[in-house]
Amino acid sequence: MLRVLVRFLALPPPAVRCKSNLDYSRFPALQESDIEETFMRGSGPGGQAVNKTSNCVFLRHLPTNITVKCHTHRLASKNRVEARKLLLEKLDVHLNGEHSIAAQIKAQEQRKSTERRRRQEKLQEMKKSWQDRERTDGGTKSTDKE
């Protein structure tokens, strides 16, 4: 039983498995020497505890001058990880444009939406033709009975 549970938990979630056909070959690598990292005091809701701790991370990618500010978590370590993820996404969009991961996901969702809409329109057309056929057949059957 435990082995089955471990195997089940080892599988990635379905949303991740669907993205396997994305091209990650152009995804940029982040080098620590290209990053300038500063910590600043946070702001927003939370009162004094938020205002007096320096857990907001500000990252600047020096070659491209792309900046990211992250203050989503209470811990600076989590904000550092989150800020690096955001910086990588922005850097990917900046360098690769329409071949970036975000653009690929958007195009994939657009294709799915178009296909879903096409199937729905086809189904509606089939229903309409069936209803028209039943009306004409139904009208002749009712006259035959009389």
Summarize pLDDT for 21-70 with one digit per residue, the tens.
888 888 888 899 999 999 999 888 888 888 888 999 999 999 999 999 99
Residue of 78, 70, 10 whose CA lies nearest to 43? 70
Query: Could you tell me if 60 and 73 are in contact, meaning their C-beta atoms sit under 8 angstroms apart?
Result: no
Alpha-carbon span 40 to 85, nearest angstrom: 19
Task: Extract the tokens encoding 131.
Answer: 């209803």
In the chain, % of residues over pLDDT 90: 58
Summarize pLDDT for 80-89 with one digit per residue, the tens.
999 999 999 9
Q: What is the pTM of this model?
A: 0.67
Q: Which residues, in sequence order, are bridge partners of residue 69?
A: 58
Task: Extract the tokens encoding 7.
Answer: 């195997």
Alpha-carbon span 24 to 60, nearest angstrom: 23
Per-domain residue ranges of the chain: 21-106
Task: Give the CATH architecture of domain 21-106.
Answer: 2-Layer Sandwich (3.30)
Residue of 141, 122, 115, 103 whose CA lies nearest to 23? 103
Which bin fits 46, alpha (ψ -120 to 50), beta or left (φ > 0)?
A: left
Q: What distance, in Å, lies between the first and last C-alpha atoms of the chain?
A: 68
Task: Extract the tokens encoding 57.
Answer: 């991370």
**Over 90: is that where the pLDDT of 14 sits?**
no
List the strands of the sheet with 35-40, edge to edge: 35-40, 56-61, 66-70
